[in-house]
Structure 1
Amino acid sequence: MARKFLYIVTGLIVVVLLVFLALRIFAQDLTEIAFVPSAKFTDQPRLAEASYDNPDMWLARPGMKNDAARWLPSDFAQVHASGAAGENESEGETVPAAAEARVDAAVFFVHPTGLVSRSSWNASLDDTVSRQRSRLFVQGMASPFNASADVWAPRYRQAAVGAFLTDAPEATQALDLAYRDVAQAFDTFVRAIGPRQPIVLAGHSQGAFHLRRLIRDRIAGTPLAKRIAVAYIVGWPVSHDRDLPLMGMPACKDATSTGCVVSWLSFAEPPETEMLLRAYARRRGLDGQEVGANPSFVCVNPISGVENGKAPAKDNLGTMVPDLTQGTGTLVPEVVPAECGADHLLHIGPAPDLDIGPYVLPGNNYHLYDITLFWSNLRADFARRVEAFTK
């Protein structure tokens, strides 16, 4: 199992390095040409009604063997005062022990894009490469929530990364197809967890993009809305004007706010945001309107939990630094600060002096590290908001 994991990681490293090398070499227009699929969009049939009753359609769910969300950094027990950790039977990684307080909430997590291809607009469920990448994303980004025993992360026919680099009709069709799967998985999740358990929604990048729509379509204005402890919509902008009114949820104002949205987008100094804003402007808000040239979107500081907040590096409880050669990672506290700027972005100061890998996007965009930069603080934020919601 360990050797297989290392092969997966090595393949991921090669692909991502090529992608980011191209991003740094080519001009923006050429970058779009390089990654937008050249194939004709081909719609795929809707999944059978009971598809998500099959455990194989999930990367994480309760009772699942090789559950990607059960992973923890190798030094979790040392960094977190809760200390003791048990052993995950399938992976040999640490998992929360009884000494750590369990969080009583069911988590629905939607992973980011793992499909980097020009040959198709959507990943096939049989595509081994995108499935392996998606599993790694769940391992690193859903693991802050595994103090809960109920973390669910569906597989879905995700849109290719190029769908966010063009306003062609095929891009919208591809994202609609991916969203159908996410919505169907969510319906199965809600039926499985029962009628009373608090719900936490979490997603990154494409996953966050779909969760915005899911909240509008499946939750806002329904009895289910009263069960949402918090929604972590990370790595995709959430507009105060175009999105929040349709989601029926405010931004989280302070560290114990509940029934609200937490969102941020991470940049080191100096930030160059043109590519991000162009990608955002291609997609309309949830109200169907264009987001405009100077959009105002939600920034909740992941260290302090306060909207438009500022926090020093000493308050960062732990950045998760991956070791892709070993398939693990360690926590390094008190290195990365965070400040929500007037531009609605999360500024982390100069590039952190951490060996986090070569995957920083052009313009000092730390998109792929949005969650791992603040891994321990997100874990604490999750527990704190659920506790406040329960009380």
Structure 2
Amino acid sequence: MAKKFLYFVAISIVLILVAAIAFRVWGEEIARAALVPTAEFEAQAPLEPNAYQDPALWYSRPGIGVNDPARWQPAYANDRGLLPTPADQRPPQHAVFFIHPTSYLSRENWNAPIGDEEAERIARIYVRGMASPFNAASEIWAPRYRQATMGSFLTDEPEGQQAIDAAYADVLEAYRFFIESVDAETPIVLAGHSQGSLHLLRLLREEVKGSPVADRLVAAYVIGWPISVEHDVPELGFAACATPQQTGCILSWSSFAEPADPSALMETYAKSIGFDGQPRGDSRILCTNPLTGMFGGEAAADRNLGTLVPDDSMSNGELVPDAVPARCDDRGLLLIGDPPELGSYVLPGNNYHVYDIPLFWANTQADVARRVEAKVGGGASAN
């Protein structure tokens, strides 16, 4: 029996090595074959007018109560206490609009159908882990939307962009309903991750810039999507956050453990076209250090107030302080030192994309509170 087990282990190791080599040689081809839909793109019918009045189209919004995933509060490890922050220490009233990342991986459609069981299950996990740092807000809103499937980002065919545009149309409708629903004097925080950040960037350029909401913007947390300091930021209408108290500004980071191999990201980024119409090339990526709230720089792990370490299900976890440092390198990537043990969803190259926000859960919460206080108190503004 033991001998058979050893043979099994040996064969498994060989298969894993062969798969790893194949991915390195044919990685893009494998990913495209596995994830890019082969079906024709079907235009998405516009949502009904005022569709987002329906609470069923929101993962999070006022009134959902205990089933709202964004209102989840993790415990600190080592008996260091529980969140939420006591009411008398909460920041002033503010509202958050959060756009979740890609949770639809199917090749059957270019856009996720509303109600797809697996995509919704994953999305709720993402909202629970990524939107929860923003939940000291008096209101937090996170819409369902017919997101572009993962394969849309792996093809140059027009269907990919059509799917992304269709997803943005839903996000835009949700955002407009959010703005209509929130008191006109309430400060606004906008946040997203990955595909959510891509849509948020478009919202900033096309909807927020130059609007009355711009004056109410506390900050935009555009995380997990590379933004060129040279070719993108000037077109957004909002500066990069340079200080921890600055408001009306943008924060962004993309996390890699060391040794980092960001070659796939950097190659795609270099070929892409910036918002100014010029190739992004080797221009620096916007990197906010989430441990300091400042553009660039580095900070030791003892500045980390709490990393959200998930359990195997990714549905629960605990906050571990002093776990991860942060350093913005010359390219604009956020390096986090030795690979932390956070789970099995680390991408090739020590890319901690899935964990961008959980790595700095408690610091993100503190950053929002600090900027809201500055906004309400008349502190520094980027505009």
Q: TM-score, normalised by structure 2?
A: 0.88
Letter in 2 for 1:360: V
The 5 Å alignment of 1:1-391 reads: 26=23, 27-30=26-29, 31-65=31-65, 66-75=67-76, 78-79=79-80, 95-98=84-87, 100-281=89-270, 283-292=272-281, 294-325=282-313, 327-352=315-340, 354=341, 356-391=342-377
1:69, 1:291 → 2: CA distance? 34
8 Å CA contact 1:166–1:282 kept in 2: the answer is no
Task: Give the greater-gyration-radius structure (CA).
Answer: 2
1:154, 1:318 → 2: CA distance? 27
Letter in 2 for 1:369: Y
Letter in 2 for 1:75: Y
The alpha carbon displacement at 1:236 in A equals: 0.1
For residues 111 and 77 of structure 1, do their structure 2 counterparts lie closer, same or farther at Cα, with a shift above 3 Å needed? farther
The alpha carbon displacement at 1:75 in A equals: 3.2
The alignment partner of 1:344 has SS state of: coil
1:244, 1:180 → 2: CA distance? 23
The alpha carbon displacement at 1:332 in A equals: 0.7
1:341, 1:186 → 2: CA distance? 34
The alpha carbon displacement at 1:78 in A equals: 4.7
1:48, 1:153 → 2: CA distance? 19
1:112, 1:197 → 2: CA distance? 26
Range moving further from structure 2, 238-247 or 127-136: 238-247
8 Å CA contact 2:77–2:320 kept in 1: the answer is no
8 Å CA contact 1:74–1:328 kept in 2: the answer is no
Letter in 2 for 1:218: E
RMSD of the TM alignment (CA)?
Answer: 2.0
2:105, 2:202 → 1: CA distance? 23
The alignment partner of 1:153 has SS state of: strand
The alpha carbon displacement at 1:222 in A equals: 1.9
2:78, 2:63 → 1: CA distance? 23
The alpha carbon displacement at 1:102 in A equals: 4.1
Deviations 1:313-369 (A, max 9, x none): 0111110001134832101111200000001100001112x3x11110000100000
1:24, 1:157 → 2: CA distance? 35
Letter in 1 for 2:296: N
The alpha carbon displacement at 1:277 in A equals: 2.4
Match of 1:89 in 2: none
For residues 212 and 79 of structure 1, do their structure 2 counterparts lie closer, same or farther at Cα, with a shift above 3 Å needed? farther
Deviations 1:244-265 (A, max 9, x none): 1221111000111111000000
8 Å CA contact 2:92–2:376 kept in 1: the answer is no
Range moving further from structure 2, 165-174 or 281-290: 281-290
8 Å CA contact 2:112–2:147 kept in 1: the answer is yes
Match of 2:15 in 1: none
1:77, 1:250 → 2: CA distance? 39
1:259, 1:326 → 2: CA distance? 32
8 Å CA contact 2:76–2:320 kept in 1: the answer is no
8 Å CA contact 1:122–1:157 kept in 2: the answer is yes
The alpha carbon displacement at 1:283 in A equals: 4.9
Match of 2:6 in 1: none
8 Å CA contact 1:234–1:265 kept in 2: the answer is yes
8 Å CA contact 2:91–2:372 kept in 1: the answer is no
For residues 318 and 176 of structure 1, do their structure 2 counterparts lie closer, same or farther at Cα, with a shift above 3 Å needed? same
The alpha carbon displacement at 1:100 in A equals: 4.1
1:313, 1:168 → 2: CA distance? 43
The alpha carbon displacement at 1:303 in A equals: 0.5
- In structure 2, stretches of 5+ residues that fail to align are 1-17, 378-383
Deviations 1:32-89 (A, max 9, x none): 3322222211111111121001110000001113111000113389546xx5x6xxxx
Letter in 2 for 1:389: K
- In structure 1, stretches of 5+ residues that fail to align are 1-20, 86-94
8 Å CA contact 1:23–1:361 kept in 2: the answer is no
Match of 2:13 in 1: none
**Would you say how many aligned residue pairs link Structure 1 and Structure 2?**
356
